[in-house]
Amino acid sequence: MSQETKYTEDNIRSLDWKEHIRMRPGMYIGKLGDGSSPDDGIYILIKEVLDNSIDEFVMNAGKTIEISVKETSVTIRDYGRGIPLGKVVDVVSKMNTGGKYDSKAFKKSVGLNGVGTKAVNALSSYFKVQSVRDNKTTFAEFERGNLTNSPEIEDSSLRKGTKVTFSPDPEIFLKYKFRSEYIVKMIKNYVYLNIGLTIIYNGEKYFSENGLKDLLEENIANESKLFPIIHLMDEDIEVALTYSKAQYSEEYHSFVNGQHTTQGGTHQNAFREAIVKTVRDYFGKNYDASDVRKSIVSAISIKVMEPVFESQTKTKLGSTEMGGGLPTVRTFISDFLKTRLDNFLHRNPDVAEKIQKKILQAEKERKELSGIRKLARDRAKKASLHNKKLRDCRVHLGDMKKDNRLDTTLFITEGDSASGSITKSRNVNTQAVFSLKGKPLNSYGLSKKIVYENEEFNLLQSALNIEDGIENLRYNNIVIATDADVDGMHIRLLLITFFLQFFPELIKEGHLYILETPLFRVRDKKQTFYCYSEQERKDAIKSLRGKPEITRFKGLGEISPNEFVHFIGKDIRLDPVMLDKEMSIEEMLAFYMGKNTPDRQKFIIENLKVELDLAEELE
């Protein structure tokens, strides 16, 4: 007996603008998240506000932007022209209001529709915008999109510009926390793309003189560059590239109108094609495209009139036309490289020679691999039908139409200890499980061949679908879920080593995480607490009266499926795996994963961790 749902005039609702934004935040800012991943909503809020300040810079108004983030409060101050004082309230709270509709100068910006700041306003528990121009100032304050205060215009001695302060609403962004690293990364991208712009973040200055060249310098260690970065610039296009000695994969950083297109798109495809074509023509040889591009590290930024993106979050470009009387994106990029890169190679024969050597070496390696690759392909064909280590989910990262595609997660578990519980307690739409058997191989110092030879690695590669680069990655988050014991730590090291060796861009793009699981369970008859640290344990014991039962979790197998729901559900705690500059990757892997050295022996002996749980303490 199914009951028909009534559908009458009463069901039809017109939502207020802020109601709509608060109801469907995903449409405006992608996903929500708690700040542990770089594409979480709270960073998009910053970006939306910052974009407006950047547009002021593009209009030659205000070379400095100041950002400060204190716990939950974000303040962004630019020295641009300031919002016209009479419209301060409208600009941030009336849909489809903006100053960029008819100005030609804004044709090449990303946000045209004046949605950004309104979304920030509606999603903030506190939002304040202040504008200063012509020695006068006014401001407006909001709570969750409702105007609470908007005083009269008054005189001011401040420098002209706009200041926006907001706190993301904790009702929508649950338990969020800003991570400086992600904000800094975002800021760096802005300064690379806007030469001459200074951004001051919490007192620290960010500035770039060489644009994309600086971006690549940041991303590749000096000693692993095959030759100094080639940096080519023209109106509407900027390109930087070199080859890496240490990395197998192709690395592209692509931007459209200052927007980081993490998933590439038409411009990136055209760029890849154009490099191959130019290089082939220069050498007059028909090299295989994959050999030409192997180990390339590059960046491209173009400016397109009224760009079209394939998704709401603007991470993949769909435009084919440059607009404004220019040829197609493809021809434009191809022509640019054809002349400029070709000229460069003619002027720098030593660089050309290095590239040729690299290509020949790649060709040799590829031929060596081809036999085993075919075998592995056959195996992978079977695996894609039935990958025996994988329990897949319904939605994947490539399903552009699904809202929850950014939540797709692959858990890599250790043996049988957790795969059963995760499989039972997971969200089958977005969470998949890959179970390892025992410890994976230490892949340090091995060649790429091992990814095909080792069955486990091969299945992992095909589960992630990253054989030909990470554009087709099937899951947005890859989470290593091993026990919190020492063997679990070892497996984490081995897995990260595998990714660093063969798929470093997964880590660079921030896809890899470690699952944090509780160390203790403290409970009495009424309440149960799961504690992630010694401090949380002490707090929990204090809050419970009498003598609670304390269990120390050593393996994920100790956690039952119905408990596991809490650890991989919305309160999931993830530690992102992020690269840093303290040590080069090569150096780090050689030290920890390579041959035993007297240095390492000394390091271990000096830092040996002794844990003794003496009986007297607990009696």
- The answer to whether residue 607 forms part of the interface with another protein (CB under 8 A) is yes
Beta carbon nearer to another protein, 320 or 551: 551
- The answer to whether residue 573 forms part of the interface with another protein (CB under 8 A) is no
- The answer to whether residue 580 forms part of the interface with another protein (CB under 8 A) is yes
CA distance 7 to 5: 6
Beta carbon nearer to another protein, 74 or 393: 74
Name the strand (E) or helix (H) holding 140: strand 136-143
Mark 500-519 with x for binding to another protein (rule: CB under 8 A) and - for no binding.
x------x------x-----
CA distance 577 to 565: 23
Terminal CA-to-CA distance of the chain, rounded, Å? 63
- The answer to whether residue 156 forms part of the interface with another protein (CB under 8 A) is yes
Pairing of strands 431-436, 409-414: parallel
Beta carbon nearer to another protein, 239 or 589: 589
According to CB under 8 A, which residues from 521 to 560 bind another protein? 550, 552, 554
Beta carbon nearer to another protein, 450 or 496: 496
Name the strand (E) or helix (H) holding 93: helix 88-93
Beta carbon nearer to another protein, 134 or 281: 134
- The answer to whether residue 618 forms part of the interface with another protein (CB under 8 A) is yes
Residue whose C-alpha is closest to residue 134's, from 120, 104, 111, 154: 154
Task: Specify whether the CB–CB gap between 176 and 40 falls below 8 A.
Answer: yes
State the burial class of residue 156 (Cβ atoms within 10 Å of its Cβ: 0-12, 13-18, 19+): middle
Residue whose C-alpha is closest to residue 399's, from 462, 352, 346, 465: 465
Beta carbon nearer to another protein, 307 or 488: 488
Residue whose C-alpha is closest to residue 258's, from 405, 106, 96: 106
Beta carbon nearer to another protein, 167 or 430: 167
- If binding means CB under 8 A, how many residues of this protein chain bind another protein? 69
Beta carbon nearer to another protein, 382 or 552: 552
Work out how close the CB of 294 gets to another protein at its nearest, in angstroms, rounded to a whole number: 24
Strands (E), 305-428: 390-391, 409-414
CA distance 443 to 503: 12
Beta carbon nearer to another protein, 211 or 518: 518
Q: How many of the other CB atoms lie within 10 Å of CB of 24? A: 11
Q: Say which residues have a Cβ less than 8 Å from residue 364's Cβ, sequence separation at least 6.
A: none
Pairing of strands 146-149, 136-143: antiparallel
Beta carbon nearer to another protein, 9 or 613: 613
Work out how close the CB of 75 gets to another protein at its nearest, in angstroms, rounded to a whole number: 6
Work out how close the CB of 611 gets to another protein at its nearest, in angstroms, rounded to a whole number: 8
CA distance 161 to 64: 11
- The answer to whether residue 69 forms part of the interface with another protein (CB under 8 A) is yes
- The answer to whether residue 486 forms part of the interface with another protein (CB under 8 A) is yes
Beta carbon nearer to another protein, 220 or 274: 220
According to CB under 8 A, which residues from 165 to 184 bind another protein? 167, 177-181, 183
- The answer to whether residue 428 forms part of the interface with another protein (CB under 8 A) is no
∠ CA(27), CA(32), CA(36), 5° rounding? 145
According to CB under 8 A, which residues from 116 to 135 bind another protein? 126, 128, 130
Per-residue DSSP letters for 317-364? B---B--TT--BHHHHHHHHHHHHHHHHHHH-HHHHHHHHHHHHHHHH
Work out how close the CB of 180 gets to another protein at its nearest, in angstroms, rounded to a whole number: 4
Task: Specify whether the CB–CB gap between 59 and 140 falls below 8 A.
Answer: no
- The answer to whether residue 157 forms part of the interface with another protein (CB under 8 A) is yes
- The answer to whether residue 608 forms part of the interface with another protein (CB under 8 A) is yes
Give the three-state DSSP class for 565: helix
Phi, psi (rounded to 5 degrees) for 74 = -115, 135
- Dihedral class, residue 448 (left if φ above 0, else alpha if ψ from -120 to 50, else beta): alpha
- The answer to whether residue 1 forms part of the interface with another protein (CB under 8 A) is no
Which of 61, 493, 541, 565 is the binder for another protein (CB under 8 A)?
493
* Residue ranges binding another protein (CB under 8 A): 66-71, 73, 75, 77, 126, 128, 130, 137, 139, 141, 156-158, 163, 167, 177-181, 183, 200, 202-204, 486-487, 489-490, 492-493, 496, 500, 507, 514, 550, 552, 554, 575-580, 582-583, 588, 592, 596, 600-601, 603-605, 607-610, 612-616, 618
